[in-house]
Amino acid sequence: MIRRGYRELMATDAVTPMGTVSFRLGLLGVAQDALYATRLAGLGLKPKHVALLCVLRLRGAESQMELAGLLGVAPSLVVLLADHLEERGAIQRVRDPADRRRQSLRLTETGLRLLASATEVAAQLDEELALSLPAAEQAALNAALDHLLGRAPDRISAPE
């Protein structure tokens, strides 16, 4: 091994996180989230609101606490998200009769329609994505995302 000077370091293959999956996944994902947020503006929602609706639709939740765990956010944020969704008539807060500390969040028909609209927006993004991505790779990406998200509708947040 020879001591390398700055010039020689520059000449070697670049050592950057751009070579890693995780870094680029983060880069792309953050951008995608931001893009989705702007497209969602017309519905008066943010991606987090949609995520909450998803959990409600796909598995339900006993309490806001559980919801917070599933979404990977603080319980106090769930309060804010639920406030907004309730104002829009997308959900209803119902005191759990069995445990009156808990609020059961119930998806309304309005909420179901809102979720369908949000899905529409995401589907539109998928189409745009498909323009720069061969079908085979899109399918592969799909499968990889399935694996990483655990394929259980439970986990919306990050694994680990």
Give the pair of three-digit tokens for residue 85. Answer: 């969704």
Residue in the block written with tokens 């990483």: 148
Per CB under 7 A, which region of 94-102, 107-115, 123-131, 135-143 contacts DNA? 94-102
Q: Name which of a second copy, DNA, none residue 90 binds, using a CB cut-off of 5 to 8 Å depending on partner kind.
A: none
Residues ≥6 apart with Cβ < 8 Å to 122: 36
Q: Name which of DNA, a second copy, none residue 159 binds, using a CB cut-off of 5 to 8 Å depending on partner kind.
A: a second copy
48 binds DNA (CB under 7 A): yes
Smallest separation, CB 96 to DNA (Å): 8
Residue numbers at the binding site for a second copy (CB under 8 A): 6, 9, 14-36, 47, 50-51, 53-54, 57-58, 72, 109, 112, 115-116, 118-119, 121-123, 125-126, 128-129, 132-134, 137-138, 140-145, 147-150, 153, 156-160
Residues ≥6 apart with Cβ < 8 Å to 129: 138
Residues ≥6 apart with Cβ < 8 Å to 135: none
Give the pair of three-digit tokens for residue 68. Answer: 């917070």
Under rule CB under 7 A, how many of the chain's residues touch DNA?
22
83 binds DNA (CB under 7 A): yes
Closest CA to 121 of 39, 28, 47, 41: 39
